[in-house]
């Protein structure tokens, strides 16, 4: 598992600046829905687990007492800290750490959020159990991520193109898999929002600095995919496609 986490840290360290400027991560209806669902009043302490370049933490900070932004990649955290300084936000703390073993006391946070990070976690059940320990009574978790397909042929192709594009990818779990893991960690959950995320092929591969040979393989895989995959992913002539996402709210049972 350490090798997977080292791959995540190395991969995102190389492309941190690309994620700072990524429109997918910096905005979108899913981010607006997450901020709305957090229902912050200005008194809450929030943990953004797997913050990346800090876009979610930055969106929440003006509404919270404090936001702690946690990530394995120091380079990604530096991008978030630079943006916080530019916006003169002083209630953010950027911390290098592992979402599966966060080093905070129990009942430290009123809200825990995570967005576009969980598909990189080798042991998501460990992270969810840690989050439950870290939440104060009455607090809750908001988890937003790309999700997998129930249909095996669609899911196989999705995981394959994700891994070809980014070797640090672990898995896009289905909504049902997330809900089962949340139950196992002691949460009750509900799906607040689903969306289809359009991905421009050139931007998607450039953002991750995918090597040219892998880019060529991705183009071949998408072009030669079965009709049901082409339809399910809404594959376009230039290789652009659409993948599903979901926002879940989880409360300790």
Residue extents of the structural domains in the chain: 2-148+169-198+241-252
Which residues lie below 8 Å from residue 105, measured CB to CB, with a gap of 6+? none
Query: Which value, in Å, is the radius of gyration of the alpha carbons in the chain?
Result: 18
Nearest to 191 by CA among 173, 176, 209: 176
Residue 34 tokens read as: 């997450």
Nearest to 201 by CA among 179, 226, 221: 221
**Per-residue model confidence (pLDDT) at position 25:** 75
CB 132 within 8 A of CB 185: yes
**Per-residue model confidence (pLDDT) at position 10:** 63
Three-state DSSP at 29 gives helix
Nearest to 86 by CA among 110, 109, 54: 54
Residue numbers in the chain where pLDDT is lower than 70: 1-2, 4-23, 26
Residue 20: how many CB atoms within 10 A of its CB? 19
Strand 66-71 and strand 92-96: pairing?
parallel
**Per-residue model confidence (pLDDT) at position 28:** 87
CB 221 within 8 A of CB 213: no
**Per-residue model confidence (pLDDT) at position 86:** 93
CA distances from residue 197 to 233, 241, 249, 252 in whole angstroms, order as listed: 10, 8, 19, 29
Length of the chain: 253
Three-state DSSP at 188 gives strand
Q: Which CATH class is domain 2-148+169-198+241-252?
A: alpha beta
CA–chain centroid gap for 15, Å, is: 16
- CA–CA–CA angle 111, 177, 183 (5° rounding): 55
| 3-state SS, one letter per residue, for 102-120 | CCCCCCCEEEEEEECCHHH
Strand 66-71 and strand 187-199: pairing?
unpaired
Three-state DSSP at 175 gives helix
Residue 83 tokens read as: 């943006």
- CA–CA–CA angle 39, 44, 46 (5° rounding): 90
CA distances from residue 4 to 7, 75, 121, 142 in whole angstroms, order as listed: 5, 17, 8, 24
Residue 55: how many CB atoms within 10 A of its CB? 25
CA–chain centroid gap for 215, Å, is: 22
């Amino acid at each position: 598992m350490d090798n997977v986490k080292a791959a995540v840290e190395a991969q995102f360290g190389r492309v941190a600046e690309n994620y700072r400027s990524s429109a997918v991560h910096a905005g979108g209806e899913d981010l607006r829905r997450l901020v709305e669902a957090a229902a912050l009043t200005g008194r809450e302490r929030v943990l953004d687990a797997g913050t990346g370049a800090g876009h979610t933490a930055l969106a929440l900070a003006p509404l919270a007492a404090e936001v702690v932004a946690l990530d394995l990649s120091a380079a990604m955290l530096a991008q978030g800290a630079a943006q916080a300084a530019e916006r003169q936000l002083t209630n953010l703390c950027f911390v290098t750490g592992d979402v599966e073993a966060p080093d905070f006391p129990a009942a430290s946070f009123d809200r825990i959020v995570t967005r576009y990070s969980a598909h990189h976690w080798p042991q998501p059940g460990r992270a969810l159990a840690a989050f439950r320990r870290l939440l104060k009574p009455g607090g809750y978790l908001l988890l937003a991520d790309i999700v997998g397909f129930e249909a095996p042929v669609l899911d196989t192709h999705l995981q394959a193109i994700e891994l070809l594009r980014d070797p640090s990818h672990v898995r896009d779990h289905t909504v049902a898999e997330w809900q089962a893991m949340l139950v196992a960690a002691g949460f009750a959950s509900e799906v607040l929002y689903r969306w289809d995320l359009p991905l421009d092929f050139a931007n998607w591969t450039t953002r991750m600095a995918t090597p040219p040979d892998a880019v060529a393989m991705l183009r071949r895989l998408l072009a030669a995919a079965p009709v049901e995959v082409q339809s399910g992913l809404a594959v376009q002539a230039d290789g652009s496609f659409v993948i599903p996402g979901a926002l879940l709210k989880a409360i300790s049972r």
